[in-house]
Amino acid sequence: MSGINKRKASRREFLKSTGRIAAGSAIMASVSPGIYAAEDNTIKVALVGCGGRGGGAAANALATGSGPVKLVAMADIFEDRLKRCHEALKAAARDPQTSGSADSWVMGFKADQVDVPQEHRFLGFDAYQKAMDCLRPGDVVILTTPVAFRWVHFSHAIKKGINVFMEKPVGVGLMCRHCKARWALYDRIKAGQIGDLLTLRTYRQQGPAGFTGPRQGNISEMLWQIRNYLSFMWASGGLVQDYVAHNVDECCWMKEAWPISAQGSGGRCHRGDNVDQNYDHYDVEYTFADGAKLFLYARNIVGCRYEFASYAQGTKGSAVISTNMHTPAKCRIYKGQDFTKGNLIWAFPQPEPNPYQLEWDELIEAIRNDKPFNEAKRGAEASLVTAMGRRAVHTGQVVTYDEMLNCDEEFARDVDKLTMDSPVPVQAGSDGVYPTPQPGLLKNREY
């Protein structure tokens, strides 16, 4: 939701306003040329949300090659997470001229770019404000907390004139749009190489994730739910909202349209003692204005068939949009509808540039060159379409784009007012299990 006035603004108003407020942030440097870099030409970065994706995004920011970048502040609710992320970034840093060690990030940046003294490592619900106070107008804040807090942090960044990188699902961290292989495929589809798109299919079928058993230890209910945010609708929109965001976005990109309606089914099968709110499988049928379909298949059950890929099928041929996770995409085009080696007519050359790095290279370059760079509206639209599919499954109804755009259901009202002592937005029942969707019984709300 919008950070301007969450309780009064509808999703429609948010989509209208995101373009304006994000553009205001993204082109701050062009309003005041050179303001981002001061005398030393250094762009300062603050990280708000120090989980794995936050650390990866920070590493990508530091590894951009268009000029000096420094991480100067970090914020999180959990001290152990902040400490672990800071140490990992220091360990991953290496001089590109030497063969340094690194963890999974393996980036080309130096240790002195991680310049976060103890007094710039902030904890608590207001830590985001303190971290952004370490920046100048035109610097960059990375927003990678659970998505429930996105509008709060985004609004504050806009007020301070800070450029924003905010992770999906409600955000612009949809790095597939920066993938060279997918761009080459998109251009070929647009040129008519596989004809009119009739069917798109996307799969994220893998083992359990976002499933949480009963709370253990002395951790508070609030902190426990935030630490396990993918298990709770109020904090994340649920596992499916986070996990299929890229899949939905890349397929709609190839179609050059957002679907107008969705229907689907899902449920909870093998749950054991898990008490979270997630379904473990979702099947969604999206319909576009011209009647074309996008079929989404998501499953998180051990022992089942694994697939993580997207496909497009047209009147003249077919294409692989992505293969086995998000990168490398290994985009390919086939004659006919049979994905066999003999029918292959084009494949993007390997290896592919890393889209996680490319999205940062392009953002930092745009800031340095005073070039407008605004992906907020598209990111919000992709999130809306993903939520539309989730809502169709949870309610057992057909949900249209316009209905979702104007839906007034809120999972976490007044999230900007949360403190350590606040009641959590969702409470467990007497059996210790949190409320889950009841399709057909609850037709106008998700749980």
**Assigned token pair, 65:** 């090659």
Examine residue 138 and state whether it is found in any structural domain, yes or no.
yes
Strand 317-322 vs strand 293-300: parallel, antiparallel, or unpaired? Answer: unpaired
Question: pLDDT tens digit string along 373-395?
Answer: 999 999 999 999 999 999 999 99
Do 200 and 307 fall into the same domain? yes
Q: What CATH number corresponds to the domain at position 250?
A: 3.30.360.10
Q: Judge whether residue 18 has pLDDT over 60.
A: no
Do 117 and 216 fall into the same domain? no
Specify which residues 318 forms β-bridges with.
313, 334
Domain tally, the chain: 2
Averaged over 119-140, what is the pLDDT?
97
Examine residue 53 and state whether it is found in any structural domain, yes or no.
yes
Q: What CATH number corresponds to the domain at position 91?
A: 3.40.50.720
Q: What is the pLDDT of residue 14?
A: 44
Phi, psi of 12 (to 5 degrees): -60, -45
**Assigned token pair, 239:** 């596992």
pTM, rounded to two decimals: 0.90
- Give the amino acid at 366: A
Do 88 and 206 fall into the same domain? no
Give the residue numbers spanning the domain of 107.
11-174
Do 135 and 87 fall into the same domain? yes
Examine residue 78 and state whether it is found in any structural domain, yes or no.
yes
Do 209 and 280 fall into the same domain? yes
Do 287 and 391 fall into the same domain? yes
Whether the Cβ atoms of residue 96 and residue 103 lie closer than 8 Å to each other: no
Question: pLDDT tens digit string along 316-344?
Answer: 999 999 998 899 999 999 999 999 999 99
Do 42 and 92 fall into the same domain? yes
Examine residue 179 and state whether it is found in any structural domain, yes or no.
no
Do 26 and 92 fall into the same domain? yes
Question: pLDDT tens digit string along 45-97?
Answer: 999 999 999 999 999 999 999 999 999 999 999 999 999 999 999 998 864 44
Do 159 and 241 fall into the same domain? no
d(CA 58, CA 86): 10
Which ranges in 244-354 belong to alpha helices (H)?
A: 245-255
Do 135 and 66 fall into the same domain? yes
Do 276 and 401 fall into the same domain? yes
Examine residue 180 and state whether it is found in any structural domain, yes or no.
no
